[in-house]
Amino acid sequence: MNSILVWFRRDLRDNDHTALGEALRRGRRVYCAFVFDREILDRLARAEDRRVEFIRESLVELDLALRARGGAMIVRHGWAGSEIPLLARELRVSAVFVNRDYEPQAKQRDAAVRAALSADGIAFESFKDQAVLDGDEVLTRAGRPYTVFTPYRKAWLKRLTEDDWQPCQSTGGCLAATPGAGGVPSLAAIGFAASDLRSLGFVPGMSGGRQLLAEFQGRMARYRQQRDYPAVKGVSYLSVHLRFGTVSIRQLVARAIAAGALNEGAEGAEGAATWLAELIWRDFYFMILDRFPHVTECAFKPAYDAIAWEQGPQAEQAFAAWTTGCTGYPLVDAAMRQINRTGYMHNRLRMLVASFLTKDLGIDWRQGEAYFACQLNDFDLSANNGGWQWAASTGCDAQPYFRIFNPVTQSERFDPGGRFIRRYLPELAGVPDKFIHAPWRMSWPEQLACGVCIGRDTPPPLVEHDQARLRALQRYAVVKRGEVP
Ligand SMILES: Cc1cc2nc3c(=O)[nH]c(=O)nc-3n(C[C@H](O)[C@H](O)[C@H](O)COP(=O)(O)OP(=O)(O)OC[C@H]3O[C@@H](n4cnc5c(N)ncnc54)[C@H](O)[C@@H]3O)c2cc1C
């Protein structure tokens, strides 16, 4: 092919990049472009959106990397659906290459771009890059998609070959000189403002991803033991880099495998295998979203759409208490303060607060899902929807609805000394360890002794868990299908 335009979206790197690698292999001149898509950006509520800043800074680094190789990133601000066909025409390319996206709206957008390009005789090709294995590569014997994770994971591991985690060569070839590429616009130029991203310690771009991966490498062997404790630096914190493709998923899989993920019994293998399983969850939810797009609106299992969620002023107040971290359950509140303050929440806590909202407060999982979508730096429709439906027991691989997290015992188990709680709820600093998970159990003299009064310094519990649990069981009874509590 003569010239090819590579359209970058959530794959902001120049190494191990499938569409770029293919373009460099097959095209004589390769252009690179990114569109700050107003279809997405105009819907964001805050000017200081960390994700927009993360993307912009990652683009600056990527542009520099491409310039060092003789190319450049052409950056536009507008509607990608029209900007890309326009640019392809201007550059007179014969094809546009992209890495595949699994979100329904992105698929629609790509179909429209494909049609517009085809009217001009320009080809549109998409490649697997975000996922290690695509949905049609991991099917049941009957040729259907898996709907339960464990058999999917087994089939995924069986299907995996060395080729699937080999880096895609995208460093050779000929990037086209792009004199018209005017660099990356400022945040102000696209209607946004600087956030607290840097002061929170997030380092965008390929360099940020490399740094986190290097640090995590030393912790991977202990991942299995440490991953459930939010006060401990046990997980990788790579999610935002995976979200925007500043690290390659193949590279992460290769690291896990090099650390023994496929060799049971090898030193450190348990940690690596457990981490690899998390990366497989990511593929699983991509596949679910791709194959069952109804999940964006409805329960994965239609029967669960019959659940009557709480509504009205009381439910609105309860939702507000949940979002602001004022439920009176310390670990739930600390978790919500973490997401509000940093845009990140530990996985154990995502499960806990999602269970609390849907089961203890009886509030529709879609409300929690939408709140997370606004707050999370690593917001990803597939994992977020999957996580919420899992916690609400409405999804594929549902935990049975009668298994309801107890917010106090979860707290005792996963934040034993209350270190995480005290980090985000400094008002509870003086509460003795014995009461940190349920401060309302302190007697009045005990409250006076530690200087923390329930109702004054911290709210009383919004609901009584045992009663809330019974209400949840009644609420879910409409979908009883042999799942006997
Ligand atoms: C209610 C709920 C909402 C969630 N929303 C999101 C979201 O919007 N974006 C997101 O990336 N993850 C989401 N997750 C999954 C998980 O909580 C995060 O991926 C993880 O906490 C990110 O931290 P980490 O990078 O340190 O993870 P690690 O433990 O180091 O895991 C490595 C990577 O594996 C992937 N991963 C781990 N767990 C899961 C999972 N359960 N499902 C899918 N992928 C997983 C992520 O890409 C993660 O970065 C959600 C989970 C729940 C329960």
- CB distance 235 to ligand 1 below 6 Å: yes
Assess contact for 18 and 165: CB atoms under 8 A.
no
Q: Which of 219, 278, 344, 414 has most ligand 1 atoms within 8 Å of CB, for mutation?
A: 278
Annotated binding residue 344? no
255: Cβ below 6 Å to ligand 1?
A: no
Going from N- to C-terminal start, the domains of the chain cover 3-129, 131-165+206-291, 302-478
With a 6 Å cutoff on the Cβ, whether 238 touches ligand 1 is yes
How far apart CA 432 and CA 311 sit, in angstroms, is 37
Over residues 129-158, the pLDDT tens digits come to 999 999 999 999 999 999 999 999 999 999
Q: What is the pLDDT of residues 322-337, one digit of tens each?
A: 999 999 999 999 999 9
Reply yes or no on whether the pLDDT at 399 is more than 80.
Answer: no
Q: 236, 239, 405: which to mutate for ligand 1, most atoms within 8 A of CB?
A: 239
Closest CA to 270 of 260, 278, 279, 280: 260
Residues 384 and 368: their CA atoms lie apart, in Å, by 10
Residue 382 CA to its chain's centroid (Å): 8
pLDDT of residue 484: 43
- Whole-number mean pLDDT of the chain? 95
| pLDDT given for residue 393 in this prediction | 93
Q: Which residue has the higher pLDDT, 440 or 403?
A: 440
Judge whether 425 is annotated as a binding position: no
State how far the alpha carbon of 22 is from the alpha carbons of 19, 303, 390, 402, in Å: 5, 44, 37, 49
* 365, 358 contact by CB (below 8 A): yes
Class of domain 302-478: mainly alpha
Determine the Cα–Cα distance for residues 68 and 73; give it in Å rounded to an integer: 11
* Nearest alpha carbon to residue 83 among 40, 27, 22: 40
Query: Quick one: average pLDDT of 206-230?
Result: 97
Q: Is 347 a catalytic residue?
A: yes
Res 15 pLDDT > 80: yes
Identify the pLDDT of residue 480.
73
Question: 């929690």: which residue's tokens?
Answer: 368
Torsions phi, psi for 430 (to 5 deg): -85, -5
Residue 223 Cβ contacting ligand 1 at under 6 Å:
no
Judge whether residue 61 has pLDDT over 70.
Answer: yes
Closest CA to 146 of 397, 384, 399, 481: 397
High-pLDDT (> 90) share of the chain, % = 92
**Pairwise CA distance, residues 168 & 248, whole Å:** 10
- In this prediction the pTM is 0.97
What is the arrangement of strands in the sheet containing 29-37, beginning at the earlier edge strand?
A: 73-78, 29-37, 3-8, 95-99, 123-127
What local confidence, expressed as pLDDT, does residue 251 receive? 98
For residue 166, CA distances in Å to 239, 257, 271, 439, 461 come to: 21, 11, 22, 52, 51
State whether the beta carbon of 373 lies less than 6 angstroms from ligand 1: no
The helix/strand/coil state of 432 is coil
DSSP secondary structure letters along 337-355: HHHHHHS---HHHHHHHHH
Fold of 131-165+206-291: 1.25.40
Average the pLDDT over 67-80 and give the result: 96
Cα–Cα distances in Å, from 194 out to 54, 57, 125, 191, 459? 10, 11, 35, 11, 34
Which pLDDT band holds residue 431 (cuts at 50, 70, 90)?
very high
pLDDT-based confidence at 179, cuts 50/70/90?
Answer: confident
Could you read off the pLDDT of 96-134 as tens digits, one per residue? 999 999 999 999 999 999 999 999 999 999 999 999 999
257 vs 165: CA distance, rounded Å: 9
Determine whether the shortest distance from the Cβ of 398 to ligand 1 is under 6 A: no
Catalytic-residue membership of 7 = no
> Residue 339 has what pLDDT?
98
- Pick the closest to residue 16 from 139, 168, 197, 235 (CA basis): 168
4: enclosing H helix or E strand:
strand 3-8
Q: Do the domains 131-165+206-291 and 3-129 match in fold?
A: no
460-475: per-residue pLDDT in tens?
999 999 999 999 999 9
Mean pLDDT of 44-64: 97
Output the pLDDT for position 174.
85
> Residues 263-273: what's their mean pLDDT?
87
**pLDDT tens-digit map of 375-392:** 999 999 999 999 999 999
Binding residue per annotation — 444?
no
Task: Note the pLDDT tens digit of each residue in 220-262.
Answer: 999 999 999 999 999 999 999 999 999 999 999 999 999 999 9
Per-residue pLDDT band for 485 (boundaries 50, 70, 90) equals very low
Please list the alpha-helical segments (H only) found in 364-424.
365-375, 381-391, 407-414, 419-424
- Ligand 1 atom at minimal distance to the Cα of residue 285: 43
**CATH of span 3-129:** 3.40.50.620
pLDDT tier at 287, thresholds 50, 70, 90: very high
Question: Can you list the alpha helix ranges (DSSP code H) found in 145-291?
Answer: 149-159, 205-217, 223-226, 239-244, 249-258, 269-291
Q: What is the pLDDT of residue 172?
A: 67
pLDDT confidence of residue 401? 80
Quick check: is 278 catalytic? yes
Choose the catalytic residue: 7, 156, 165, 281.
Answer: 281
